[in-house]
Amino acid sequence: MKLELAKKPTPLEKYIFDGKEVWIKRDDMTDFVASGNKIRKLEYLLGEALERKSDVVITCGAIQSNHARATNYLAKRLGMDVILFLKEWYPGRSSGNFLLNHLMGAKIEIVTPNEYEDIDEIMRNRAEELESMGKRVYVIPEGGSNFIGSKGYEDAVFELNKQADLEEFSAIYVATSSAGTYAGILSGVKKLGLKVDVRGVVVHKKPTDVVVEKIKRILSQLGIEDFSGINLLRGFEGKDYAYPEEEDLKMIKYVASESGVILDPVYTAKAFRGMMETMGEREKVIFVHTGGVFGLFAQIQALEGIL
């Protein structure tokens, strides 16, 4: 079952940056509290949770996880309790998404980076514990990134295809972390028989082969047997996930001052910089803005250096 939770269709807007033509798919405008790309995935994931008559949702992420914040908000709207396992990370800990999750009353459990390596097992164990007490539990993986959630970004491509002639664009750029958004976009492109390149700017240090294997697994589950066209761009992840470089922070300021579009420090600033540094001078591309504005407030100290 698919729910209708996002404000759709989101706008597709034309901008010129440094003489380059960039059309931005404004998925930062899918909602307010649940804004960003995660809500499209959650339309399917929480739909399945309701079908199963779940009363508790468990998920995970970094301390400033957009996915955790969106899941918390939407699950509560649908009458379900929420448990969030969040990976310990100190800068800006009490602000942004983390603050919103506290305000919305999620049960939050902090895990260390080492513990987070086994997060799927940790969530599964907690689900079994709650189910032994009579609860109905639905577990959502990191980022909502499985084939069920990825259907949301197949839908986004179908939506884009109604907004513009996608054959006029050479590429679609998107930030890539847990890989579900990228896999959904690539699946949608393939199902429509489009030639447009799908370029994922990786924002963490996980090995490329690990990310590629996850994309292939999701594509297969979505009914795609042709794994060609996976195009991941490396070199823009910086120190690691959630650690923006000075160039990323400057990109946030540049894009905001040129267009009024606000990027975030974890995903879209890195992806936008990757796009600007790799796209050809005469290319016409689409940038999928996956949201994340609340995480910006966790980086105030770092941002002060470029303001």
Which segments of the chain belong to CATH 3.40.50.1100? 12-36+150-303, 39-144
Q: Residue 5 corresponds to which tokens in the numbers above? A: 């939770």
Q: Kindly report the CATH class assigned to 39-144.
A: alpha beta
Alpha helices in the chain (DSSP H): 38-51, 66-77, 96-103, 113-116, 119-131, 147-163, 180-191, 208-221, 246-259, 268-278, 300-303
pLDDT at 259 over 60: yes
Predicted TM-score (pTM) of this structure: 0.96
**The predicted structure's pLDDT at residue 93:** 63
pLDDT over 90 (residue 126):
yes
Q: 94 an active-site residue?
A: no
Q: Is the dihedral of CA 240, 215, 233, 283 positive or negative?
A: negative
Instruction: Using the structure block, give the residue that is written with the tokens 């490329």.
Output: 208
- pLDDT at 239 > cutoff 60: yes
Average pLDDT rounded to a whole number, residues 212-219: 98
Query: Cα(240)–Cα(232) distance, rounded to whole angstroms?
Result: 16
Share of the chain above pLDDT 70, in %: 98
What is the chain's mean pLDDT, rounded? 96
DSSP 28: G
Q: What's the pLDDT score for residue 94?
A: 77
Place of tokens 């109905």: 136
List pLDDT tens digits, range 128-166.
999 999 999 999 999 999 999 999 999 999 999 999 999
- Give bridge partners of residue 21 from the DSSP assignment: 16, 284
Say which DSSP state 240 is in: B
Q: Which of 35, 65, 145, 177 is catalytic?
A: 65
- Spatial neighbors of 60 by CB under 8 A, at least 6 apart, are 68, 84, 85, 86, 87, 116, 119, 122, 123, 141, 142
Q: Please, what sign has the CA dihedral across residues 151, 152, 156, 162?
A: positive
Query: 89 pLDDT band (50/70/90 cuts)?
Result: low
Determine the Cα–Cα distance for residues 127 and 139; give it in Å rounded to an integer.
7
CB–CB of 69/294 below 8 Å?
yes
Structurally, at CATH architecture level, domain 12-36+150-303 sits in 3-Layer(aba) Sandwich (3.40)
Measure the CA–CA gap between 165 and 221, rounded to whole angstroms: 27
